[in-house]
C-alpha cells in the first residue's frame, strides 16, 4: 500500500509499504478522506518529536477492509470515523472514566502509524459507524468536533447564556456552532478579520477582530452586563488566555483547549478578585457519539471549513497549504 512516511523533520516520502494485518481486536481501515491539522504540521516540522519512520495523521474516515480475531463490530465494508486516541483501560485514571488523561494513552498518527496512507490498523473500539445519510466530508472533522463538544461541556454552557470563542480556526468555528446548538449567544474573537464573515455564517451573532478596541468593552456591549458568561479559548497562544480573561464576566468560566505550550503570564489577581473559574479541557472522553449526532442533525456544518484538498502524493503541498492564511482545514485523499 501507499503511505506518506516521515523519516525526519520535513523529510516525508510517499512509499510502498507492507499491507497492515489486523491483530486480535483490531481492524484495518481503507482511508477515504483525512484531515490535516496543526499537530500534524508540528510533527512534520520536527517541533513535536516522534519515533521515525512514522506515518502521521489522526483525523479520518474510511471503510473497514479487514477485521482481526474477536472483532464483532465494525464489520467488513462498514463506513467508520476514527477516535484516534486510546487509553490503557486499567490504570486508576482509566477506571474512573478519565481515559483522556491516561498516562499510557496511545495517539494514532503520533505514537503509532496514522492515516496519511491508504490503509491503517486501529483497535476496533476506536471505530464509530457513520450514518448512511452523512457524507465522508461531513464527518472528516469529527475528531476536532469532539474536542469542542467536550470544551463546551466543561464550560457548562446553558441556553440563554452569552459565550465568546477566542480563535477562528477549525476548533473556533466548530465551537461557535456547538455553542449555538446549546442555545448560547456567541461572540467570535479573532486576531484577524479574515474568518469573521464565515464565523457569522456559521452562527456567531457578534464578531470582533482583536486590534479593534478593548475586549472588555466589546464583551459588555454584547452581553448587556459585565462580560460574557463563558469563554472557550481555541487559539493556543499565551495572548489568547489574556483575551479570554478580558472577555469573561466576574463569576464566569474560561475553558482552555488550545494547548499553549509556552509559559503564559496571567494576572491571577483578576482571577481571584473576580472569582473566575478556569478549566482545562483535554481532547475527549465520550464525546464522539455526540459529535456525530450534531453533524447528522445538521447543527454543525463542517464543509465550509474544508478549504483545500490534495492527493496523498501531494502531501508536501498539503502542508504548505496548511500554513496559508486562507486555509482552514486541508483534506488529503489517499
Ligand atoms: Zn488534529
Ligand atoms: Zn490508563
- Does 154 have pLDDT greater than 80? yes
CA distance 274 to 294: 34
C-alpha cell of residue 152? 463546551
What pLDDT is attached to residue 267?
87
Q: Which ligand is nearest to the CA of 92?
A: 2
CA distance 273 to 251: 10
- Going from the Cα of 286 to the center of ligand 2, the distance in angstroms, rounded, reads 15
Average pLDDT over residues 62-84: 98
Span 312-325, pLDDT tens digits: 999 999 999 999 99
Cβ-based neighbours of 202, under 8 Å, separated by 6 or more: 173, 176, 177, 301, 304
Percent of the chain with pLDDT over 70: 100
In terms of Cα–Cα distance, which of 277, 267, 281, 268 is closest to 233? 281
Cβ-based neighbours of 118, under 8 Å, separated by 6 or more: 1, 2, 3, 30, 31, 312, 334
Q: Which ligand is nearest to the CA of 98?
A: 2
DSSP per-residue string spanning 238-260: HHHHHHHHHHEEEEEEEEE-S--
Average pLDDT over residues 28-47: 96
Distance of CA 210 to the CA centre of its chain: 23
What pLDDT is attached to residue 121?
98
Q: Report the mean per-residue pLDDT for the chain.
A: 96
What pLDDT is attached to residue 211?
78
Structure confidence at residue 266 as a pLDDT band (50, 70, 90): confident
- Going from the Cα of 155 to the center of ligand 1, the distance in angstroms, rounded, reads 21
What pLDDT is attached to residue 14?
98
Entry pTM:
0.96
- Going from the Cα of 89 to the center of ligand 2, the distance in angstroms, rounded, reads 5
* Partners of 15 in beta bridges: 3
Which letter, b or e, does each residue of 201-239 get, where b requires 16 or more Cβ atoms within 10 Å of its Cβ? ebbbebbbbbeeeebeebbbebbeeebbbbbbbbbbbee
Structure confidence at residue 192 as a pLDDT band (50, 70, 90): confident
- Does 19 have pLDDT greater than 80? yes
- Does 128 have pLDDT greater than 80? yes
Amino acid at each position: 500500500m501507499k503511505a506518506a512516511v516521515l523519516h525526519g523533520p520535513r523529510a516525508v516520502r510517499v512509499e510502498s509499504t507492507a499491507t497492515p494485518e489486523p491483530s486480535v481486536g483490531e481492524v484495518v481501515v481503507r482511508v477515504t478522506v483525512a484531515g490535516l491539522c496543526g499537530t500534524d504540521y508540528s510533527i512534520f516540522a520536527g517541533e513535536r518529536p516522534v519515533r521515525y519512520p512514522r506515518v502521521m495523521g489522526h483525523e479520518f474516515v474510511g471503510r473497514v477492509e479487514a477485521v482481526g480475531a474477536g472483532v464483532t463490530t465494525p464489520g467488513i465494508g462498514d463506513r467508520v470515523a476514527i477516535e484516534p486516541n486510546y487509553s490503557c483501560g486499567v490504570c486508576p485514571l482509566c477506571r474512573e472514566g478519565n481515559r483522556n488523561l491516561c498516562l499510557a494513552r496511545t495517539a494514532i498518527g503520533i505514537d503509532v502509524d496514522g492515516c496519511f496512507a491508504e490503509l491503517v490498523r486501529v483497535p476496533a473500539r476506536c471505530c464509530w459507524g457513520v450514518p448512511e445519510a452523512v457524507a465522508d466530508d461531513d464527518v472528516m472533522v469529527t475528531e476536532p468536533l469532539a474536542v469542542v463538544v467536550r470544551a463546551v461541556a466543561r464550560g457548562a454552557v446553558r441556553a440563554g447564556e452569552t459565550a465568546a470563542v477566542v480563535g477562528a480556526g477549525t476548533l473556533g468555528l466548530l465551537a461557535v456552532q456547538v455553542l449555538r446548538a446549546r442555545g448560547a449567544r456567541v461572540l467570535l474573537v479573532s486576531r484577524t478579520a479574515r474568518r469573521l464573515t464565515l464565523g457569522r455564517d456559521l452562527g456567531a451573532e457578534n464578531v470582533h477582530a482583536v486590534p479593534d478596541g478593548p475586549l472588555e468593552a466589546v464583551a459588555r456591549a454584547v452581553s448587556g452586563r459585565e462580560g460574557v458568561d463563558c469563554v472557550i479559548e481555541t487559539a493556543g497562544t499565551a495572548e489568547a488566555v489574556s483575551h479570554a480573561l478580558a472577555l469573561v464576566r466576574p463569576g464566569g468560566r474560561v475553558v482552555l483547549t488550545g494547548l499553549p505550550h509556552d509559559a503564559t503570564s496571567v494576572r491571577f489577581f483578576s482571577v481571584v478578585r473576580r472569582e473566575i473559574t478556569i478549566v482545562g479541557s483535554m481532547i475527549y472522553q465520550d464525546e464522539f457519539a455526540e459529535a456525530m449526532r450534531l453533524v447528522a442533525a445538521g447543527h454543525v456544518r463542517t464543509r465550509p471549513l474544508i478549504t483545500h484538498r490534495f492527493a496523498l502524493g501531494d502531501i508536501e503541498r498539503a502542508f504548505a497549504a496548511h500554513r496559508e492564511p486562507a486555509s482552514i482545514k486541508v483534506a488529503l485523499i489517499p
